[in-house]
Copies of this chain bind each other. A is one copy, B any other.
C-alpha cells in the first residue's frame, strides 16, 4: 500500500496477541451484566450497561444480532437468548475480523471455548499462551513433592509449551503480590523452602493459588530460560488487584536483569500506559498493548488513549489485544474500537501534513499485526 487509505484500513489485519476464551453458556441479562465489568455484578440498583463499555455493546453489537443500534439491554438479552450462544458467538467473533488469536488458557479455561473452537467460530486461527502460575498449580494439584518442585516445574513448563506449541507465556504476578518483586532469580534452596511451605499450606476454597513471591520469581526465571515472550498483566483488573502494585514501572529492575533476547510484553497498562510506553522506549525488549483498556473506555475515548501511549512508545513496540474474556461481545467491540481509533489517529496526522500516507499505512500494519508476527515468530 503506497498511500494512506482510510477505507482499506477498515479491514486492517489484526493479531489479538492476548485474549481468553468465550463462554459456551446461554447468558441471561444478569449474566451479560456481570461479564461487562471487572468488578462482576453491579451494585444493587445499578447496571454495568451504564458504563462506556455497556453503551458500546448496545451500540455496536445490537446490529450484529439484527437489532437497531442502542437497543435496550433487556431487548438485547432477549435477542441473544433467541439466537443461542453458538450463533451469537459465531456472529460477534466474525464481526471482529480478527486474523489470529493468541489465547491465554490459564483462567477458568474449562468454561470457555478452547483456542481451536474459538478460531473455528471466528473464522481465524489461534495459538496458545501458557500461564506460568497455572502450570505450577496443576503440578501442586497432581501432588508434586516439595523437594522436586523446582526441577519438576521447569520440566512441566517445557512440556506444556511443547504440547500446546505455545508461542509465549503469561504471568499474573500483578495479582499475586504485585510487580515490586525482587528482580533476581531466587536460589535453588530458597525455591525449595518456599515450595515446601506453599504445598503444605494446600489449596484454598477456589483450588491451588500460587502467590508466594519466591515461587513467582522462580516461575519467571524458568520462563526466561525458554526465551519465549513473557506477557505480564499490568494496570487495572478485577478488585483482587492492588492497582499501585500493578504499575509496570515496578518491573524496571526485572526488565534490566532479563537478557534482551527475551521479549517482555506489558499488557493493558492503564492508567500507567505512559509509564509503560517509557519502558518500551528505552528498553529494546519491552513491548506493550492497551489490551482491555480500549474496549472498556469505548470509541469516544480510545483514540485519546492510543494517542497518549504513542507519545513515547516506538511504533515497532505497540501491539493489539482485546483481553476479551467470556463475552463474545468484547471481541467485537475491541476490534472495532481499536481499528477505528488507530485509523482516526493516523488519518489526523496525515491530514495535518505531519506524516506521509505511506508511513501511516506502514505503521498501521506494524501495530495491527506486524509487530506481533515479529515478536512471537508467527507465520
Contacts and interface: CB of A to CB of B under 8 A. Distances in A.
Interface in A51-77: 51-52, 55-56, 59, 69-70
Contact of A50 (B69, B244, B316, B353): B316
A244 B249 contact: yes
A282 B38 contact: yes
Interface string A331-345: 000000000000000
A232 interface: no
Interface string A235-266: 01011001110010110110010001000000
Given A239-B256, A297-B311, A348-B300, A50 B281 contact: no
Given A297-B311, A297-B312, A355 B70 contact: yes
A355 to B, nearest CB: 6
A138 interface: no
Contacts of A359: 55, 70
Contacts of A354: 55-56, 59, 298-300
B275 A243 contact: yes
A282 B239 contact: yes
A295 to B, nearest CB: 11
9 contacts: A39-B281, A39-B284, A44-B284, A46-B284, A52-B310, A56-B354, A69-B353, A271-B275, A271-B278
